[in-house]
Structure 1
Amino acid sequence: MRVWILLLVLLVLLVLLAPLAWAGEPFVRLKVEPEGELVAGQAPVLEVQMLVPNYFLAPPAVQPLRLRDGTLAEQVGGSANRVERIDGQTYAGITRRYQLPPLPAGEHELAPAEIRLRFAGEDGQPLEARLPLPSRHFQVRPAGAGSAAQAQELGPGQLSLSDSYEPAAASLQVGDVLVRQLTTELHDAGNLLPPRAPLATPVGVRLYRTAPRLELDDQRGARRRISREAVRYLFTQPGSVVLPAIKLRWRDTRSGRWQTAALPPRILQIAPRAAAQDAPAQLWRWLLAGGVLLVLLATLLWRFAPQAWRQRLAARTERRRRWRRLREACHAGQAAETEVALDAWLALHPSASEQLPGLQQARQQLLVYRYGRNAVAWDPKALLAAAARLPRPAKRAVNYDGLNP
């Protein structure tokens, strides 16, 4: 009896654990292009394929891929999705490609790296997995000296150095500046940067260097890094000046050999500084002097202007202020503010306001609206139009009593 009970329990456990046993596990594949032995100067491409059952819940987190010596691989392009059917199980996959720089001859090995995957299980619950990157060794043999195909693949040179001058051809004298543009191009060097050319300072010259400007040119898989640098020579003494030759020693990563790029020297004749001639005054100096003169003249006019002219200017300013206040009050429809502003405006026209019956009627309508028991509507536009018809106040006559008896 007990044996049958144990068999029944085992059968139930097998039924319950069957989906877990049949469910697939995530895994990582690594492919290398080109396959087999590599030749010095080739840049292999690593294709990392990450596959999980069901589907991904987040992008894979891949640690930086590098060799044991620290050489870093750079990702090429974006991620690509894929779907595979393995042993009756559907897997979702994401593929990423990484490229190593050109490798020198010798043995190389990938450093350990971890890949974190987050995906959905069979029941839809989130799962996480941490998988190691498959290890891989690279055997790189030296390039054959007489291989024409390899020489054609490497091209004329991995590094080139060139320069140009501005002005290209001109008579120079003490105090002039000659600009030299240095251009360094590095081909198929992966993540390496072009080296900086060493410069010597000649006698009688001040040398000024700027930080190089880097450019990346990636066309048809041929990666090229360009460094552009501006060098300025300030000449302080007359005579013959020799700009020394430039020799740049660098290591060709495709062949593993040391190479030298050079630029020839240049001889310049620097003339003494010519006597400075009297240059005409610049335009901005004339404008500045004219502005100062105008400000001084306006200050003098205001200080010594007649009293009558000052009073007339103040009266005009006060008239504009009162009219602006009345107009704003009417536009806002404020009866109390309009009454105060209207009285101030009519104070400037004590006699002329009585000659306009329309203005008196509009003012009476405003007062009835404010203080009458049976309030009626008032028209701000009509009041403002009637007030605008008031003539300008007459100029005050100057009293000369006592001057002419």
Structure 2
Amino acid sequence: MPAIRHLAAATFLLLASISVTYAADPFARATVKAQGTIYPGQQITIDVDVFVPNFFMSPPQFPLFDLPNAVVTLPDSGAENLNETVDGESFAGVSRSYLVTPQAAGDYVLPQAEITFTYAAVPGQASPGKVTLPPTKFTVTAQPGVEAGGAFVTAARVGVEQALDRDTQTIKAGDSLVRTVTVTADGMQAMLIPEPSFDAPDDVRIYRHDPKVEDQRTARGEFVVGRRTDTVTYLFEKAGSYTLPAVEVHWFDPKSGKDETASAPAVAVTVSEAAASESVIAPPAPVETPRSAWAGIDWRWWLPVAGVAMAALLGAGWFLLSGLPRIQTHLQARQAKRENSEPAYFRRFEQGCRNGNRRTAYILLDAWARRADLGPVSEWLHRHGVIEAQRAYAAFEKSIFGKEGSAAPDVGVLCAAIARTRRSWLGKRQQDAPNVQFLAPLNPRWIGDTDFHDDA
């Protein structure tokens, strides 16, 4: 009997120790912060909390995971520290927030991505640890009327503002007008705001500038508003009355469940004729000279001077005529060089993006990458691009080479991401360019009185 009592006590202590060890294991939880129905294009926040017993000895490494048909970002805002008591055990926690924007209707489940860290399993001793994301699920419902051409942008509010650089009633033929349109979307990152459409009437040229995208955050780093600013320049070639079309952004309001439209109003422009140049005062009519006045001219001196002047004029004319083909060839060579330059190839890619044809944009992107000698675009983005650019390109390739019916990403998002990466890449390449200096020979050898040559 004493032996049985000792065995029972040992078994109880073992089970108790196993229970304590199990209760003290690190764990993670995920919370989807969304109210009501979730629609495609609507940005939601997913809070991920990681808890360990005692305390952390290194910060958790939150991964940027892949979620099919969704754009996932992990803002750089600081993590939040937590403290909880579970079954009488004290836990320390760290919380980070992911921003997820689903691009299609359906069910979404978070992948079991690993989060690694070190913590004090035993006080004063660092132990490696890891947890996986819980398989948290959320459902995205298609927007009403999306199949009939409804809005795909989902936001709490979208606003459009515009500014002009001059009075539209004082423009003359040959002048230009700069139009700046700013789109703000509550709860939507700036890179996801679609590119507004700009049109120009006949006899008006339009030039687009690179857009500016920026996210507004609180003092704690929490995302609030996305802002996209587009600037275009209109050049008016002829006098007349013109109307620059309104700029509209269609969006879906999840609260009302209706499509909404935010717009910048059309602009009426009156263009007058260009001011004529000042008239040139004609010289006075020659006064007839009496025949007696010519009698005093020494023709023996003036005739040679006139001959020399005529010869000089003929020589100058011949020089211009003979040099014109060379000048024309030089200008053509410069034009061909510009058309074959890296910026020209990239402008063609941007134009392809604006046309909205994904396959044409892909061909032009590949042509630019070959001209710039980048190698594969995906590897170039991995070396120089941010994660948003890599995601945009991966989604773009999947839409082209994937199976039929795959979601079609916004080509404008890819174009903006590639443009930002290109600017960063060009800046780094310019900084890394070697500073070559040419030095005079170290050991010159004199030959004659004035010339010298290097002994080497």
* TM-score for the superposition, normalised by structure 2: 0.46
1:313-356 alpha-carbon deviations (Å, 9 max, x no partner): xxxxxxxxxxxxxxxxxxxxxxxxxxxxxxxxxxxxxxxxxxxx
Question: Which amino acid letter does the alignment assign opposite residue 208 of structure 2?
Answer: R
> What residue in structure 2 maps to residue 226 of structure 1?
227
State the alpha-carbon separation in 1 of the partners of residues 200 and 143 from structure 2: 40
Q: Unpaired runs of 5+ in structure 1?
A: 146-153, 279-405
**Whole-angstrom CA distance in 1 between matches of 2:193 and 2:142:** 23
Match of 1:55 in 2: 55
SS in structure 2 at match of 1:272: coil
Q: SS where residue 128 of structure 2 aligns? A: strand
* Secondary structure of the corresponding residue to residue 269 of structure 1: strand
Which residue matches 1:70? 70
Matched, 1:235 2:225: no
> Any residues of structure 2 matched to 1:106-145 within 5 Å, and which?
106-122=106-122, 124-140=124-140
C-alpha displacement of 1:61: 0.5
**Is the counterpart of residue 204 in structure 1 residue 188 in structure 2?**
no
CA distance in 1, matches of 2:232, 2:44: 38
Q: Please give the residue correspondences for 1:206-355 in structure 2 after superposition, counting only pairs within 5 Å.
A: 206-218=205-217, 223-237=224-238, 239-248=239-248, 250-252=250-252, 254=254, 261-262=262-263, 263-264=265-266, 266-276=268-278
Partner of 2:186: 187
**Residue 165 (str. 1) matches residue 164 (str. 2):** yes
Shift of 1:242: 2.0
Rate the CA distance shift 1:93–1:268 in 2: closer, same or farther, 3 A.
Answer: same
From the superposition, tell whether residues 261 and 34 of structure 1 become closer, same or farther in structure 2 (CA, over 3 Å): closer
| Post-superposition offset of 1:94 | 1.7
Change (3 A) 1:132 1:222: closer
RMSD: 4.5
Which range moves more in the overlay, 58-67 or 14-23? 14-23
Deviations 1:211-233 (A, max 9, x none): 12233334697832222233222
1:223/1:276 CA distance change after superposition, 3 Å: farther
* Aligned residue in 2 for 1:83: 83
The alpha carbon displacement at 1:58 in A equals 0.5
Matches of 1:105 and 1:182, distance apart in 2: 31
| Distance in 1 of aligned mates of 2:175 and 2:9 | 97
Output the CA distance in 1 between the equivalents of 2:30 and 2:202.
Answer: 59
Aligned to 1:28: 28
Tell me if the contact between 1:50 and 1:94 (Cα under 8 Å) persists in the aligned partners: yes
| One-letter code aligned to 1:164 | A
1:32: Cα distance to partner? 3.3
Tell me the distance in 2 between the aligned counterparts of 1:13 and 1:123. Answer: 26
Distance 2:100 2:111 in 1: 13
> How high is the TM-score relative to the length of structure 1?
0.51
Report the Cα offset of residue 179 of structure 1.
Answer: 2.0
Which shows bigger deviation, 184-193 or 258-267?
A: 258-267
Decide whether the 8 Å contact of 2:160 with 2:182 is kept in 1.
yes
* Equivalent pair of 2:119/2:128 in contact (CA under 8 Å): yes
Structure 2 CA distance for aligned equivalents of residues 170 and 93 of structure 1: 63
C-alpha distance in structure 2 between counterparts of 1:207 and 1:44, whole Å: 37
Structure 2: gaps spanning 5 or more residues: 146-153, 281-456
The amino acid across from 2:275 in the alignment is R
Q: Give 2:171's aligned amino acid.
A: L
**Does structure 2 conserve the Cα–Cα contact (< 8 Å) formed by 1:164 and 1:181?**
yes
On the 8 A contact 1:100/1:190 being kept in 2, the answer is no
**Distance (Å, rounded) in 1 between the aligned partners of 2:223 and 2:57:** 36
How many residue pairs get aligned? The number is: 263
Structure 1 65/102 Cα, relative in aligned 2: closer, same or farther at 3 Å?
same
Q: Identity over the aligned pairs, expressed in percent?
A: 24
Change (3 A) 1:85 1:213: closer
Q: CA deviation at 1:133?
A: 0.1
Q: Once the 2 structures are TM-superposed, how far is the Cα of residue 275 of structure 1 from its aligned partner? A: 1.0
CA distance in 1, matches of 2:139, 2:196: 33
Distance 1:15 1:249 in 2: 68
Q: Deviations over 1:16-68 (max 9, x none)?
A: 99867743211112233358x64548754433221112321110001125643
Q: Take 2:27 and 2:120, find their aligned partners in 1: how far apart are those partners?
A: 14
Distance 1:17 1:188 in 2: 50
Offset at residue 244 of structure 1 (A) = 3.8
Written as runs of structure 1 = structure 2, the 5 A alignment for 1:356-371 is none
Larger Rg: 1
> For the Cα contact (< 8 Å) 2:71–2:102, is it kept in 1?
no
Q: 2:406 corresponds to which residue?
A: none
Task: State the partner residue of 1:298.
Answer: none
